[in-house]
Amino acid sequence: MYLYQNEFVSKEQVRISPDDRGYYFGDGVYEVFRVYNGILFEAEGHYERLEKSARDVRIPLPYSTRHLDKLLNQLIRLNELAEGTVYMQITRGAAPRSHPFPAQAEPVLMAYTTEMARPFETMEKGITAVTMEDIRWLRCDLKTLNLLPNVMAKQHALDQGAHEVILHRSGTVTECSASNMMIVKNGELRTHPANHLILHGITRAFVLQLARQLNLPVREEAFTLDDLRTADEAFITGTTTEITPIIRIDKQTVGQGVPGPVTVKLQRAFEERLPKAAIKS
């Protein structure tokens, strides 16, 4: 079942207009939630980010986040989802194509669930990455539907035989196509500060909290491609990727070429805090 506005319908019953501004302009916002054991993970953070994205692009949310939470939980129950994700998007609505905000349009909400196993293999073995100039706009903190630069960057990585792309602005590392970037260097965990140049990842915040609980020194300060290339460990964080080690960057080995000890420690701490029955037995 899909959630379409305030109703649960089949996919075929979702009627999105060709005039929907999401389609013409990418004029909408979205969230991807992780579901562990039928439970929305860090839901509050996702709702707060959704409210911020919607407010800053001036799309009125059709319902309170409290009501949205009720709807998403109903959707999870209806679809009997245990392990997977919930995708939800809200566009400015349908109106004949014209740049100004339409006077009459009503926001269009659509959400669905996807069953998805946890990425155990890549979390254990690590992935490879390539670097690329970050050509996105200057409000990367907003989770909008305008993802063409992210799509192009991800495809660039795949075309090079790598899994992910690490973006940088003139040598300053920002984040990845759909995840945040962290390195460990001289015992310190380093990641780009949560400003307008990166998405304020829910997993990023969760991992930083874990690191502080583990008494790991944390530095939320921009680092360079040079720092990245000489890092002892590197990993990405994200709703679908959790904590995934990066073992090679631009064909050069990171550290020992295997997931590092700090990364593994954080993965373990992450695992311990998941809704119980979701833990791998």
List, by residue number, the catalytic residues. 143
Closer by beta carbon to ligand PDD, 179 or else 244: 179
Return the number of the residue (94 or 164) whose C-beta is nearest ligand PDD.
164
Backbone angles phi, psi at 64, to 5 degrees: -65, 155
The sign of the torsion formed by the CA atoms of 128, 256, 133, 135 equals positive
Say which residues have a Cβ less than 8 Å from residue 135's Cβ, sequence separation at least 6: 149
- Of 91 and 179, nearer to ligand PDD (C-beta) is 179
3-state secondary structure 180-213: EEEEEECCEEEECCCCCCCCCCHHHHHHHHHHHH
Helix, coil or strand: residue 265: helix
Nearer to ligand PDD, 94 or 178 (CB): 178
Residue 216: CB minimum distance to ligand PDD, A: 19
Positions touching ligand PDD (CB under 6 A) are 32, 150, 175, 178-180, 199, 201-204, 237-240
Q: Which residue has the tokens 């392990």?
A: 83
Q: Is the sign of the CA dihedral 129, 132, 135, 140 positive or negative?
A: positive
